[in-house]
Amino acid sequence: MQQNEQDRLRILRDYQVLDTPFELCFDRITELARTVFEAPIALVSLVDEDRQWFKSCLGLTVRETPRELAFCDHTIRADEVLVISDARSDLRTRANPLVTDDPRIVFYAGAPLITPEKYRLGSVCIIDRKPRYFTDKEKKILKQLSGLVMDELNLRRKADIDWLTGAASRGSFQSLLSHLALGKDRPTSSQTAVIAFDIDHFKQINDRYGHAKGDEVLVAVVAACRSVLRECDVVARTGGEEFTVLLPETSRGTAEMIADRLRRRIADLTFGNSDQSFPVTASFGVTMMDHDDGGVVRTIERADKALYRAKSQGRNQVVCYWRNDMQALAPSAA
């Protein structure tokens, strides 16, 4: 199956697994792969836009490699297990620095991670430093292991609650928005605001302070939001560091005010210790739901456009974008 790359990347981000810490449930699968196949290296690899990132990585010390060097980038081009018996003589890989230099890959076998929508996100793979032959039975076993990884990922994707932060999940939030857009859960006269926000420079936090600290930031940001929001409001984690807030029975002016309160509350957070502390800020986009939108897509698009403008104008600010506006309003900045 040919797959649209932008759709594939969108679905990959829906799983909210990129840049998360190692977890025992995935490490058990790669350890089983190493044991069954007597291979020194086993990985759960996800192919992002410009990198290959490892959710589990046994036998290597790196957490990611450039996508142009990734064997798994070849794996996601088909549904079947990819086997390269000797990478030193294969046209696709013989000049690859991962073959000619450390870790000196010779043998590779990867089973694609296939979503229910039939998109291939990455692979479960094994690597050896000597040439090998891979039987049909071994291919079947590796494919079953990739299925176990997808089972775990799909369970999390379907969950109503984000496993890390306790916020609503992307799927449950989109279902709620769809009900509201169809008018099933509110009178047509009511007003509902939508706020999209994400944490500024979050990748730099992960890179500099580690993923455990990044997780601490995500949890603290959700807690900070709840200290500002009402019980009827909903905050959802809709991406790695991306969040959306639903504010029922809320006017435009109130929505903008609440967004700025959230911005200031997050900016008050500090992390680390006296020797090494760092601030956290977030950028916000605000819009209103409208029945004339014909669904949630246009509502989310407006919120995202406002958010992107807030980021392009310097971050740590709020931008509003109302339906039929030619351009977003001026930002509320620190």
What are the catalytic residues?
241
Strand partners, 153: none
Element (H, E) at 333: strand 332-333
Strand partners, 34: none
Element (H, E) at 284: strand 282-288
Q: For residues 75 and 146, is the Cβ–Cβ distance under 8 A?
A: no
Distance of CA 306 to the CA centre of its chain: 21
Residue type, 230: R
Only one residue has tokens 């819009």, namely 287
Strand, helix or coil for residue 148? helix
Q: Are strands 332-333 and 317-320 parallel, antiparallel or unpaired?
A: antiparallel
Tokens linked to 52: 């290959």
Tokens linked to 199: 């944490």
136-158 vs 170-181: helix crossing angle, rounded to 10: 50
CA distance 314 to 309: 9
Query: Rounded to the nearest 5 degrees, what angle is found at the Cα of 198, between the Cα atoms of 195 and 199?
Result: 140
Q: For residues 12 and 18, is the Cβ–Cβ distance under 8 A?
A: yes
